């Protein structure tokens, strides 16, 4: 790299961090929730991609979560997804949205975040009914979950949004 008068300045330069946004689109999830995360945004809904032959121990399925950022936050929240019968967790995911590529601290108000997550059911899972739930928590601080409210404005118990009841055969 050279200056305007030809003097060598170095062999590279640094650009500031910037974010490339996807073209605006509307959220059209298969399953609307309209849940609200305090001080962050809302979850318009989710998509659920289940295997054609049903869920069995070892099966993999896809959960796509839709978030709509409403406020900026300096906190990098971690999302959790649990498939449990209340006692036994047979599938779970904990991580930042989009596998860390788009942490909540980088969300821009109005931005639609679409996050596809693959979950695998434990090989030793017993057949039965299980609840699929999600939420956000601050892993770097206290681990406290972000307050979560239903479409009616009422607090959601345990700040864990129940998405679906799934049957493992």
Tell me the C-alpha distance between 44 and 35, whole Å.
7
- pLDDT band of 105, cuts 50, 70, 90: very high
**Average pLDDT for the chain:** 90
How much is the average pLDDT of 115-119?
Answer: 97
> How many domains, the chain?
1
pTM assigned to the model: 0.85
Q: What is the CA radius of gyration of the chain?
A: 20
Query: Does the residue 26 lie in any domain?
Result: no
Query: Does the residue 1 lie in any domain?
Result: no
Query: Does the residue 63 lie in any domain?
Result: yes
What is the reported pLDDT for 64?
Answer: 97
**CATH code for the domain of 60:** 2.60.40.2550
Please determine, for residue 19, whether its predicted confidence score (pLDDT) is greater than 70: no
Range(s) of the domain holding residue 119: 31-168
Residues 6+ apart with CB under 8 A from 4: none
What is the reported pLDDT for 76?
Answer: 95
Digit-coded pLDDT (tens) for 21-69: 555 556 689 999 989 999 899 999 999 999 999 999 999 999 999 999 9
Tell me the C-alpha distance between 34 and 67, whole Å.
10
Instruction: Return the residue matching tokens 């057949």.
Output: 127
């Amino acid at each position: 790299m050279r200056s305007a008068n030809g003097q060598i300045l170095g062999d590279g330069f640094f650009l500031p961090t910037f974010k490339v946004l996807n073209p605006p689109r509307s959220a059209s999830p298969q399953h609307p929730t309209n849940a609200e995360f305090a001080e962050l945004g809302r979850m318009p809904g989710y998509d659920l991609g289940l295997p054609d032959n049903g869920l069995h121990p070892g099966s993999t399925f896809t959960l796509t979560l839709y978030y709509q950022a409403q406020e900026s936050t300096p906190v990098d929240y971690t999302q959790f997804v649990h498939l449990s019968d209340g006692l036994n967790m047979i599938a779970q995911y904990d991580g930042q949205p989009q596998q860390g590529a788009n942490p909540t601290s980088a969300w821009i108000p109005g931005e639609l975040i679409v996050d596809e997550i693959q979950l695998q059911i434990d090989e030793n899972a017993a057949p039965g009914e299980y609840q699929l739930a999600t939420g956000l928590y601050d892993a770097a601080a206290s681990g406290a979950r972000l307050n979560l409210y239903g479409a009616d404005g009422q607090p959601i118990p345990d700040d864990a949004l129940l998405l679906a009841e799934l049957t493992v055969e």
